[in-house]
Amino acid sequence: MQRKSDRAAWLKGGDARCSTQPERRPDQHRFVLLGAPGVGKGTQAELLSERFHICPLSTGDIFRASKALAAGCECSPAMLRALGYMNTGELVPDETVLSLIRQRAKCLRCGGGFLLDGFPRTIAQAEALENILEENEVKLDAVLSYDLPLEQIVVRLGGRRICPQCKRVFHAESRPPRQAGICDDCDIALFLRDDDRPEAIRVRMHAYEKNTTPVIDFYRARDLLIPIEAGSNPAETFERTLKAIQKAATRDLP
């Protein structure tokens, strides 16, 4: 069984090296994952990573890991700029995000392939990624785009409850606490995040669609887009994903 990489090269950038170096394989895969918050994209990234032995590369993971590094002054100037925007609640500009990706270009050349999750989010990022991949003589295999109706996203995100102390996440339907509204571990009241309220979710989804629709069109024009219906059962969604990948891989064969 292949050991999981610690993704040090991705999380830290610079001269950092991963603890395990995957073998270069002829069947390596390079995917981009698209999908709105609440569609279960993170779970699918984990399942795809395990099935194809590829590292999930998330820009969100870079930001979270770098918050811990910032105290030790180990962050690059681009990362410090990104953290500055995040600390004030602002979106990290495309230019800064792209600087972070370029610093990690060796991850895109990895012999084991890659799975980009959370990037690109805008058409400018998609165009820049295309250039970065061309510079590194790398090509994408597919862009997996997960879709779920808005009302189902509202139900999924709106049912989340979080413990203010341990930050554990529960869900009113799929992962309820033993006692309604109370954390299993801390025995204190759970809360609903402001951005998980129905009205806030709809605003987030409209903003997501505005930015992401051009990205979807960008990859559809390049014949890379694979649309996948997301559902409440992750295993069923994963089976649809595998079938869609297989179908796309064989569609040009005689």
Active site amino acids: 41, 121, 160, 193, 204
Type of residue at 89: G
Tell me the C-alpha distance between 40 and 174, whole Å. 13
With contact defined as beta carbons under 8 Å apart, do 226 and 245 qualify?
yes
Tell me the C-alpha distance between 165 and 223, whole Å. 46
Tell me the C-alpha distance between 217 and 215, whole Å. 5
Q: How far is CA 68 from CA 11, 17, 55, 165, 236, in A?
A: 11, 18, 21, 19, 36
Pair of tokens at residue 109: 């050349």
